[in-house]
Amino acid sequence: MGEKPPILVTGGAGYIGSHAALALLDAGWPVVVLDDLSSGHRWAVPEGATFVQGDIADAGLVGAMLKEHGIQAILHFAGSILVAESMTEPLLYYRNNTAATRTLLETAMAAGVNRFLFSSTAATYGVPDAVPIREDAPTRPINPYGRSKLMSEHMLADAGMANGLDYVVLRYFNVAGADPAGRSGQTGKVSTHLIKIAAEAATGKRDGVAVYGTDYATPDGSCVRDYIHVSDLADAHVAALEHLLANPGTRVTMNCGYGRGFSVLEVLDAVDEVVGEPLPRRIENRRPGDPDALVADTGLMAATTGWIPKHDHLPTIIAHAIAWERRLVERG
């Protein structure tokens, strides 16, 4: 085996991107992070990575850095990720997620970089007919966030066929937890995700947790989701990258989850066990746009890349999320 070539990680100062950068470095890949720090943090960029602050849609900057660093593949995480915000600012989402990805792809192809790994989402499925969801299920996103990502998936497929672009699209289910060694974690300005919110409640940042609806068509009436540890998702990217580089002509879209669902109430029960006492819960009305159940069919990812999760254990995900939250409290 020769030396591993440098990889560009866009959005490497963000939650998932920083964990992917850590996983790449841990596996011996040189990493260059490009991030405009609009929502990411400079401290989240791992020490061993080269950091460039800038916009993925700045073709001059990106073209020059691809050449300067001899980049061989791009892991593209940069983008906007808040579903509710996408409902009120759709054009921002089509700019940051769709148009910026188009420019980045064009710049990459012009520089001869034709291997691309794209962060997509289970939101591309919308409300599924059945779970677990296979990758060939209909894609009918119900918000601009999901549509902005799906449009990028279509661009990849078209450029794959027409221009010889090789790519892996990973559709994430519910990402949670933090680096087990405490090197990174979730630090958005606005928290909307259940396990993040529960971790904030566990560390006293909130009074308790709201349960958005107990009248869904699920066993206990609360919504069911497939929660995946962020470090397992990061490892999935390393496995997908290795598959992409070893197999020219790869053009594949794969789910990333564990293939098992937990209800909101089950998650909160697990949080109570980890904390050692019950956190206050309030039953509230449904949040608009939440499907009853989202669970990944994970067969394709496992068969294609051989990826094996290390933290497929809900209490571990929760414990890591809380440990990270405590660090944030200590840091002030």
290 binds ligand UDP (CB under 6 A): yes
* Closest to ligand UDP by CB, 164 or 219: 219
Site membership for ligand UDP, residue 202 (CB under 6 A)? no
Q: How far apart are CA 284 and CA 211, in angstroms?
A: 6
Q: Which is nearer to ligand UDP, 73 or 194 (CB)?
A: 194
Are 222 and 285 in contact by the 8 Å Cβ rule? The answer is no
Interacting residue with ligand UDP among 22, 45, 209, 295 (CB under 6 A): 209
- Residue facing ligand UDP at closest CB distance: 223
Alpha-carbon distance 138 to 125, whole Å? 6
Find the shortest distance in angstroms from Cβ 170 to ligand UDP: 15
Q: CA–CA separation, 322 vs 332, rounded Å?
A: 15
Judged by CB under 6 A, the number of residues near ligand UDP is 14
Near ligand UDP by CB under 6 A, which window of 9-17, 65-73, 159-167, 205-213? 205-213
Gap between the Cα atoms of 152 and 7, Å rounded: 20
Query: What is the SS3 string spanning 153-172?
Result: HHHHHHHHHHHCCEEEEEEE
**Using CA atoms, how far apart are residues 134 and 223, in angstroms rounded to an integer?**
19
Of 48-56, 92-100, 138-146, 206-214, the window that binds ligand UDP (rule: CB under 6 A) is: 206-214
Closest to 49 (Cα-Cα) out of 12, 104, 2: 12
- Residue 145 annotated as catalytic: yes
Q: Is 114 among the residues that bind ligand UDP (CB under 6 A)?
A: no
Catalytic residue among 93, 145, 227, 258: 145
Site for ligand UDP in 181-200 (CB under 6 A): 192-194, 197
Provide the sign of the torsion angle of the four alpha carbons 115, 253, 145, 188, taken in this order. negative
Q: Are 316 and 230 in contact (CB under 8 A)?
A: no
Find the shortest distance in angstroms from Cβ 318 to ligand UDP.
Answer: 13
| Distance, CA of 237 to CA of 305 (rounded, Å) | 10
Q: Enumerate residues 249-288 that contact ligand UDP by CB under 6 A.
A: 264, 287
Strand partners for 252: 168
Question: Least distance to ligand UDP from the beta carbon of 97, Å?
Answer: 15
Q: H or E element: which one contains 102?
A: helix 100-110
Name which of 7 and 209 has its Cβ closer to ligand UDP: 209
- In this chain, which of 174, 187, 231, 298 binds ligand UDP, going by CB under 6 A? 174
**Residues labelled as active-site residues:** 145
Residues that bind ligand UDP (CB under 6 A): 174, 192-194, 197, 209-212, 223, 225, 264, 287, 290
